[in-house]
Amino acid sequence: MAADQGLAPTRSSSYLSTRPKARLALLLSVPLLWLVVMYLGSIVVMLVSAFWTVDSFTGAVVQTFTLDNIVRLFTDPLYGTVALRTILVAVGVTLIDVVIAVPMALFISKVASPRARVALLVAVTTPLWASYLVKAYAWRILLAPNGPLAFVTGGNTPGYGLPATVITLAYLWLPYMIIPVYAGFDRVSDSLVEASFDLGAGAWRTVRSITLPLVFPAIAAGSIFTFSLTLGDYIAVGIVGGKTQLLANLIYGQLVTANNQPFAAALSLIPLAAIILYLFAMRRTGALENV
Amino acid sequence: MRRMFRTAGAGAAVVLAAALALSGCSSNSTPGATQAEPPKRTMASSVGSGEGQLNLIAWAGYTEDGSNDKTVDWVHPFEAQTGCTVHTTYGATSDDMVQLMRTGQYDGVSASGDATLRLIYAGDVAPVNTKLVPNYKTISSFLKNGNWNSVNGQMYGIPHGWGANLLMYTPSVVTPAPTSWSAVFDDASKYEGKVTAYDSPIYIADAALYLKSSDPSLGITDPYSLTTKQLDAAVALLKKQNASVGEYWSDYTKAVQAFESGTSVVGTTWQVIANLINSDATVKVETVVPKEGVTGWSDTWMISSKSKHPNCMYKWMNYIASPSVNAQVTEWYGEAPAQTLACAEMSDPNFCADYHATDEAYAAKIHYWTTPTKQCVDGKGDNCTSYTDWVNAWQRIRG
Chain A contact set for B95 (CB, 8 A): 59, 256, 259
Distance of alpha carbon A17 from alpha carbon A23, whole angstroms? 8
Per residue in B172-186, pLDDT tens? Answer: 999 899 999 999 999
Do residue B18 and residue A56 have CB atoms under 8 angstroms apart? no
Q: Nearest-CA neighbor of B44 among B133, B112, B115, B110?
A: B133
| Chain B residues within an 8 Å CB radius of A250 | 395
Confidence of residue A152 (pLDDT cuts 50, 70, 90): confident
Sign of the torsion formed by the C-alpha atoms of B68, B70, B72 and B77? positive
What pLDDT digit, counting tens, does each position of A45-56 carry?
A: 888 999 998 876
Does residue A112 carry a pLDDT above 80? yes
Phi (first) and psi of residue A123, to 5 degrees? -60, -40
Asked if residues B132 and B313 have their Cβ atoms less than 8 Å apart, the reply is no
φ, ψ of residue B111 in degrees (nearest 5): -90, 140
Nearest one of B196, B113, B199, B243 to B391, comparing CA atoms: B199
B18 in reach of chain A (CB within 8 A): yes
Q: What is the mean pLDDT of chain A?
A: 88
Mutate to test the interface with A, among B392, B394, B396, B397 (most CBs of A within 10 A): B392
Looking at chain A, the domain(s) classified CATH 1.10.3720.10 span: 75-290
- Could you tell me the pLDDT band of residue B116, with boundaries at 50, 70 and 90? confident
Number of C-beta neighbours around residue B313 at 10 A: 29
Helices first, then strands: H and E counts in chain B: 14, 14
| pLDDT beyond 80 at A10 | no
On the question of pLDDT at B9 being above 70, the answer is no
| Angle at B252 (CA atoms; ends B110, B211), nearest 5 degrees | 85
Interface test with chain B among A69, A257, A260, A261, by most B beta carbons within 10 Å:
A257
Half-sphere exposure of A163 (CA within 13 A, CB side): 6
> In chain A, whose CA is at the least distance from the CA of B11?
A133
Residues of B in contact with A254 (CB under 8 A): 391, 395
pLDDT at A33: 86
pLDDT tens, position by position, B15-27:
333 333 333 333 3
* CA–CA min distance B396, chain A (Å): 6
Question: 10 Å Cβ neighbour count for B31?
Answer: 6
Taking only the tens place, the pLDDT of each residue in A174-190 is 999 999 999 999 999 98
A267 touches chain B (CB under 8 A): no
**Mean local confidence (pLDDT), B136-144:** 92
Mutate to test the interface with A, among B170, B250, B391, B397 (most CBs of A within 10 A): B391
Tell me the C-alpha distance between A124 and B53, whole Å: 50
Distance (Å) from the alpha carbon of A146 to chain B's nearest alpha carbon: 6
A73 touches chain B (CB under 8 A): no
A75-290: CATH superfamily: MetI-like (1.10.3720.10)
CA distances from B77 to B56, B73, B312 (A): 16, 8, 14
Q: Judged by CB atoms within 8 Å, which residues 375-394 of B form the interface with A?
A: 386-388, 391-392, 394
DSSP 8-state secondary structure symbol assigned to residue B223:
T
The predicted structure's pLDDT at residue B12: 36
ipTM: 0.77
pLDDT level of residue B377 (50, 70, 90 thresholds): confident
Report the pLDDT value the prediction gives residue B212, as an integer from 0 to 100.
94
Q: Which of A247-251, B115-119, B292-296 is predicted with the least confidence, judged by mean pLDDT? A: B115-119
Instruction: Give φ, ψ of B366 to 5 degrees.
Output: -90, 130
Structural domains of chain B ordered from first start: 2-162+297-360 (3.40.190.10), 165-295+372-398 (3.40.190.10)
Q: Verify whether the Cβ–Cβ distance A144 to B257 is below 8 Å.
A: yes
CB-CB: which of A54, A56, A243 is closest to B247? A243
* Contact yes or no for B263 and A144 at CB 8 A: yes
Q: Any chain B CB within 8 A of the CB of A143?
A: no
Go through chain B and tell me how many residues it has: 399
- Reported as a pLDDT band with limits 50, 70 and 90, residue B187 is very high
Tens digit of pLDDT for each residue in B312-354? 999 999 999 999 999 999 998 888 999 999 999 999 888 898 8
Closest chain A residue to B393, measured at CA: A78
- DSSP category for residue A108: I
Compute the average pLDDT of residues B114-129. Answer: 87
* Lowest-confidence pick of A130-134, B35-39, B264-268: B35-39
For chain B, give the mean pLDDT. 85
Average the pLDDT over A214-242 and give the result.
92
**Which residues 161-200 of B are in CB contact (within 8 Å) with A?**
199-200
**Which residues from chain B sit within 8 angstroms of residue A134, using beta carbons?**
10
Q: Which of A243, A244, A251 to mutate to test the interface with B (most CBs of B within 10 A)?
A: A243
* A253 at B interface, C-beta within 8 A: yes
CA distance A40 to chain B (A): 26
**pLDDT tens, residue by residue, B214-255:** 999 999 999 999 999 999 999 999 999 999 999 998 777 788
CA-based nearest residue in chain B for residue A246: B399
The reported pLDDT for the residue numbered A59 is: 63
Q: Would an 8 Å CB–CB cutoff place B398 in contact with chain A?
A: yes
As a 3-state breakdown, chain A gives helix, strand, coil percent values, each rounded to 5, of 80, 0, 20
Q: How many CB pairs under 8 A join A and B?
A: 77
pTM for the model stands at: 0.77
Q: How far is A65 from chain B (nearest CA, A)?
A: 20
Which of A162, A252, A259 has the most B C-beta neighbours within 10 Å, making it the best mutation to test the interface with B?
Answer: A259
Of A56, A140, A250, the CB nearest to B257: A140
Contacts of A56 in chain B (CB under 8 A): 374, 386, 388
Q: How far is CA A166 from CA A95, A127, A169, A273, in A?
A: 10, 18, 5, 21
Q: What secondary structure does DSSP assign to B123-177, as a single string?
A: T-EE---GGG-GGGGGB-GGGTT-TTTEETTEE-SEEEEEEEEEEEE-TTTS-SP
Does B83 reach chain A within 8 Å, measured CB to CB? no
pLDDT at B118 over 80: no
Distance CA B294, CA B198 (A): 13
A15-63 pLDDT, tens digit each: 778 888 888 888 888 888 888 888 888 889 888 999 998 876 556 788 8
Contact A242 B394 (CB under 8 A): no
Looking at per-residue pLDDT, the higher value among B22 and A124 belongs to A124
